[in-house]
Structure 1
């Protein structure tokens, strides 16, 4: 059977690993528009910060693909531009057509752009690829370099932290009052903000982006120089910027699927076995939508890769079942853990330890003697234990009184 895999991100590499370990006998072609073999994208922020070297994010060399009978075609010419479902072929940007028996789509996601004046100026970029890190490192070497990061989510904060470590003056602009508003409550968000401010990052929260402006002299007319915002006091403010990183979220990359006539909503629609509306096409990762859920974290994507690989190996595949996935921030020296519904609703019970003066904050939300959500800041040692209790829906009534303090405080019985 001939398999064509579109995309060579972390999920795609995990799929190929499963197929190699399973002793596949397929002809496999991987098409990737990035010039580098698949790498660990979630470690780009640590690479930017200088915490790890480039070799630490490499997953496999080109030789690994060859050893396992996988043809890896990388570069802009191998970007897939069309799917012909009737002929069972895909076409790439260089005009080549590749036939398939099974097509695997792992196209990932695209950064959300912000439609304001000046968004086409040089020096404005996203933080998605290895090339983006190279661009930011080059910008950080310029004298008096200053950066503005648009977005106070996980990626934006990790980027800001890395740029500060590289010596840049950094300001984060976010339209929410709380950092990581989807992962933290107000208390934990303020603790995080104070910690990051102590490291040199400035914030403009509850702010609205107005436009980007370029240099006033002829030599730098097309290069970003300032970011204009309306700040939390409803006042206009101009922030100097020789570099702007937009980290305002992502959306599933489904243009290819839509053009091919596959059923799509926010993502390409799949069932629990990652099958699309075309029985010969499977999809997984950040590009897919299962019922109302999208997937932006690596853990569910790896599970989806396993489900797909088992089918391709002719084995009985278990279905993919989404489970709550914890959030973590990849910034050295900051520990936080967030999972499930940590905002109490009517009928919920809230357990709380607020020791923010010591850098520790814990919150557990319980309903019907079962954990609904967990939020930990500072001490996250019990995070995975809480997650296990929540995933299994264990009854915690027998040790509710000491639950907030962690597993080591459980009664001996």
Structure 2
């Protein structure tokens, strides 16, 4: 049976974390900040790297940073903090009744027979998610990629570089999905010299975060970055040819409207599917994801979950802010026995694309019960939209100038009454501040 060899911590309760993504990295920081010597901690990760900033993968793809530049915790960091780090392996099964894990063979240990089983006192599932599938036919072809981790990013880069070198021209790529991940993948490829066509089934980009006007503005700016768009359609099937090696290689895609596009590579970035299979094997309650309570505890009292793999009050998670809050709640309970409830607060949307400034929070479309205030400057690509209900902001969409975004967001969070200040507020919170000063001066003069 696997045990940490540091006998000085042998009697400590064992905390095992499955998964080594950003959620685990943050949870470790929270634990070490509170009670650094309380647990014998073991982290099991399927990737051969320490915890890294997955958000920056699009920047790696664009050549704006490197793999080393996004690593947040190196193997040495785990050693320095007396954390056992088992990389390059998966957990195949959880025996929750006996509080044991069964590992797949690991390449990082010599005696595999002794290290197939790990015991735990507390277990955390931070196993993340995988790329959501699309219904297109003929997906078992070379040149079709997901965009979730370092391996995906390196494979995309390598494939694009090899094809460009052989043909002496830029690679043609398809990106499937016009959400945040798809746009960042398209931008990364375009900046690296790939000619990109982005296919999105909805009528405008970021349709969950933007309205049609701001979505069109975003499309215009992205189009200037060597990206073409096909909106309102999906891929019906991928087309392929057989190369000299006898491999089935991507040649393009046929869309649901019958149109055919040629491409040598395609990246699927249509969303994520939470990884819940391990929890199912442990008889833990799951729905879309692993169900947790307000304190990140699953239906098994000794097993917790957080990050993209968990579900709290019917919500799943893909953004950093709520996951960071989950880490704090879990660390409070594990380290100090404090029940600090996780609350899934709204999070504004931003896009990590150079030259694009957008901010979105709350509802983005008007209804019969709301009022909408808009300023549009098409020439400068500036758009401001504030939606109110009962004199309280319930939605904000900003494009081009987002300087007032967080002010609006805080007003929305605090349910602050805006009274009759909307014209000035829509122009910008700075104008409101100037008006307030002028009113004070006029009052003093009177």
TM-score bracket for the superposition, by shorter chain length: over 0.9
Aligned partners of 2:196 and 2:327: how far apart in 1? Answer: 37
Aligned partners of 1:294 and 1:313: how far apart in 2? Answer: 25
Matched, 1:82 2:93: yes
Aligned partners of 2:76 and 2:244: how far apart in 1? Answer: 48
Correspondences of 1:263-282 after superposition (within 5 Å): 263-282=285-304
Match of 1:254 among 276, 282, 295: 276
For residue 259 of structure 1, report the CA deviation from its aligned partner: 2.0
Match of 1:126 among 125, 146, 154: 146
**Contact map agreement 2:142 2:249 (CA 8 A) in 1:** yes
Match of 2:45 among 32, 38, 61: 32
Instruction: Tell me the residue number matched to 1:329.
Output: 351
Aligned partners of 1:347 and 1:117: how far apart in 2? Answer: 43
Q: Which runs of 4+ in 1 moved over 6 A?
A: none
Correspondences of 1:64-83 after superposition (within 5 Å): 64-75=77-88, 78-83=89-94
Matched, 1:202 2:228: yes
**Contact map agreement 1:106 1:284 (CA 8 A) in 2:** yes
Matched, 1:162 2:174: no
Secondary structure at the residue paired with 1:29? strand
What are the superposed Cα offsets for residues 28-52 of structure 1, whole Å, 9 maximum, x if unpaired?
Answer: 0001101111100001111111222
Aligned partners of 2:246 and 2:359: how far apart in 1? Answer: 43
What are the superposed Cα offsets for residues 90-126 of structure 1, whole Å, 9 maximum, x if unpaired?
Answer: 1111271111111101111111122432201111110
**Contact map agreement 2:195 2:227 (CA 8 A) in 1:** yes
Aligned partners of 1:118 and 1:176: how far apart in 2? Answer: 22
Match of 1:320 among 338, 342, 346: 342
Secondary structure at the residue paired with 1:357? coil
Instruction: Tell me the residue number matched to 2:217.
Output: 191
For residue 134 of structure 1, report the CA deviation from its aligned partner: 1.0
The answer to which of 176-185 and 60-69 deviates more is 60-69
Instruction: Tell me the residue number matched to 2:309.
Output: 287
**Contact map agreement 1:350 1:363 (CA 8 A) in 2:** yes
Instruction: Tell me the residue number matched to 2:378.
Output: 356
Instruction: Tell me the residue number matched to 1:117.
Output: 137
**TM-score (norm: length of structure 2):** 0.89
- Evaluate the alpha carbon distance shift between residue 278 and residue 202 of structure 1 in structure 2; reply closer, same or farther with a 3 A threshold: same
For residue 216 of structure 1, report the CA deviation from its aligned partner: 4.6
Instruction: Tell me the residue number matched to 1:48.
Output: 61
Matched, 1:135 2:161: no
Aligned partners of 1:246 and 1:207: how far apart in 2? Answer: 15
**Contact map agreement 1:214 1:220 (CA 8 A) in 2:** no
Matched, 1:228 2:254: yes
**Contact map agreement 2:274 2:308 (CA 8 A) in 1:** yes
For residue 20 of structure 1, report the CA deviation from its aligned partner: 1.3
Instruction: Tell me the residue number matched to 2:444.
Output: none
**Contact map agreement 1:214 1:221 (CA 8 A) in 2:** no
Instruction: Tell me the residue number matched to 2:173.
Output: 147
Instruction: Tell me the residue number matched to 1:237.
Output: 259
Instruction: Tell me the residue number matched to 1:391.
Output: 413
Aligned partners of 1:108 and 1:115: how far apart in 2? Answer: 22
**Contact map agreement 1:140 1:167 (CA 8 A) in 2:** no
Aligned partners of 2:308 and 2:117: how far apart in 1? Answer: 25
Aligned partners of 2:193 and 2:339: how far apart in 1? Answer: 50
For residue 315 of structure 1, report the CA deviation from its aligned partner: 4.2
Q: Which structure: larger Rg?
A: 2
When the two chains are superposed, the root-mean-square deviation of aligned CA atoms in Å is 1.4
The number of residue pairs the alignment matches comes to 407
Aligned partners of 1:292 and 1:403: how far apart in 2? Answer: 35
**Contact map agreement 1:123 1:242 (CA 8 A) in 2:** yes
Secondary structure at the residue paired with 2:252? strand
Instruction: Tell me the residue number matched to 1:60.
Output: 73
Matched, 1:302 2:332: no
Unpaired stretches in structure 1, ≥5 consecutive residues: none
Instruction: Tell me the residue number matched to 2:111.
Output: none
The answer to which of 209-218 and 174-183 deviates more is 209-218
For residue 401 of structure 1, report the CA deviation from its aligned partner: 3.3
Matched, 1:8 2:20: yes
The answer to which of 352-361 and 390-399 deviates more is 390-399
